[in-house]
Amino acid sequence: MEPALIEWREDFRIGLPEVDQEHRELIDAINRLHRELVVGASIGRVTGALGDIHAAISSHFALEEKDMQALHYAEFEAHKREHERLLDEILDIIDDVTASGSYDPQVLSSRLADWFTGHFRTFDARLHRWLAARH
């Protein structure tokens, strides 16, 4: 079996249980798609899976934003703008695959991994530190 594209790490945990659970589920969805890419999934399957990831991340961001607002997180607006940028980026990935009618498994997997982990290293890491400092 193909190794996971993104391995769960404790630094992906931000300290809000429902958000952390969704982070795990998103990693699982990206890893499932990665395994399909490696074996040459159809364009329809890839764009469908990307659409599912977009829907899941959109819902996840709404939950995260609700929690940040309720906690009066000072960086809420910047974090929300980053969420909007990330959602646009997933749509761009879907458009690229759809327009070309093909995909490079390695490039697409790399884009997904960078997309997911980049947000964690920056915006979610700051949120985690802020949440930890509150306790």
CATH topology (fold) of 16-133: Four Helix Bundle (Hemerythrin (Met), subunit A) (1.20.120)
Phi/psi of residue 4, each to 5°? -60, 145
Confidence (pTM): 0.89
**What are the distances in angstroms from CA 117 to CA 23, 99, 114, 120?**
11, 26, 5, 5
Other beta carbons within 10 Å of 41: 17
What's the CA gap between 121 and 117, in Å, rounded? 6
**Total residues belonging to the chain:** 135
Q: What is the predicted pLDDT for the residue at 1? A: 64
Vertex 85: Cα angle to 2 and 111 (nearest 5) = 25
Structure confidence at residue 106 (pLDDT):
92
Reported as half-sphere exposure (CB side, CA atoms, 13 A), residue 22 has a value of 16
Query: What pLDDT is attached to residue 53?
Result: 94
Per-residue pLDDT of the chain (135 residues; tens, 9 = 90+): 668 999 998 888 888 899 999 999 999 999 999 999 989 999 999 999 999 999 999 999 999 999 999 999 999 999 999 999 999 999 999 999 999 999 999 999 999 999 888 888 889 889 999 999 987
Structure confidence at residue 118 (pLDDT): 87
Among 44, 72, 65, 59, residue whose Cα is nearest residue 134: 72
Question: Residue 123 belongs to what H/E stretch?
Answer: none
- Annotated domain spans of the chain: 16-133
